[in-house]
Amino acid sequence: MRYKLLGRSGLRVSEFSLGTMTFGEDWGWGATEAESRRIFDAYLEAGGNFVDTAINYTNGTSEKYTGKLIAPIRDQIVLATKYTLSTRPGDPNASGNHRKNLMQSLHQSLRQLNTDYIDLYWVHIYDFMTPIEEIVRALDDAVRSGKILYVGISDTPAWIISRAVTLAELRGWTAFTALQIEYSLVERTVERELLPMARSLDLAVTPWGILGSGMLSGKYANRDAPGRIKDRTEVGKLKERNMRIAAVVGQVAKEIGKTPSQVAINWVRQQPGVIIPILGARTLDQLKDNLGALQFSLTPEHLKKLSDASAIERGFPHDFAASPFINNIVYSGRFEEIDNHREK
């Protein structure tokens, strides 16, 4: 495994992150402690050093298991966790982005992880109530206290993140270094605003859901098989468009002798910018299959085939600005003759 700089920072992280939302059986479908250890050990053996969890994953069990696993090599691991989601149902201040929840969540995570600092602390999702100034300043205070080293933000609109980074730069506060988003061949809407913003602001991107809730793993290849759809929670991803995309993934996988999961992972991994996919596995075999993506790269032809099959409309103003009439009057009919070194 190779390493990448975490966005605008100098921190070196492995090119895949290990997601540990599957560590623990509290939600009825995760890995046992013993299987979690096997998954973690295989990730380390492959050269991984970047582990991602959250305060409420499997009701806190994920952080507890993760803390035990990293304890002997704590300083070698880049540990990331998140705050925002509810830790005490019914208590309005036990959730959200505000300073009180940040501090009480941070202290709880430190206890559950059995560590005295966190390398990367994520805002899990914007609550649309807390002023962005409060969030950025509270995170900066936590950095200055030594309890966290870097900050990131997840599942939040681009305009909010851009404003937060600008405020941090203007006021000398700690700015976000990373962005976490859902991104896969079946979920590409982040290409409209979030990914261009990340490249412009030099934010590392750690995509989750890279297999589209299993849609791109090949397990739905025969959708008429008895019992293939286990419950209604799976129905949302089983749209005709997504089935067509999954079929193209399967075709490419067959052509190159790889698994559909590996093809889908590498399509994400090979997109522009600092892309560090999160691998989430419930079994050791799943992780080993995912890590097999390290052994090859997709050709430009296969990347184009997959991108064409999953293409989305960029929407306004992108499609409007790219229309021939507007393009002509913006660039005086000379667009093709202008070399833009900032184009990505």
DSSP 3-24: EEE-TTS--EEESSEEE-TTBS
Q: Give the whole-angstrom CA distance, residue 39 versus residue 217.
A: 18
CB neighbours of 93 closer than 8 A, spacing ≥ 6?
Answer: 100, 101
> Catalytic: which of 43, 57, 150, 220?
57
| End-to-end Cα spacing for the chain | 25
Question: SS3 of 125, please?
Answer: coil
Of 229, 161, 246, 144, nearest in space to 195 by CA: 161
**51 strand-pairing partners:** 18, 79
For residues 82 and 54, the answer to whether their CB atoms sit within 8 Å is yes
Is 57 known to be catalytic? yes
Question: SS3 of 202, please?
Answer: coil
Rg of the chain over Cα atoms, rounded to whole angstroms, equals 21
Of 187, 190, 167, 152, nearest in space to 272 by CA: 190
Q: Is the peptide bond preceding residue 72 cis, with omega within 30 degrees of 0? A: no
Catalytic (active-site) positions: 57
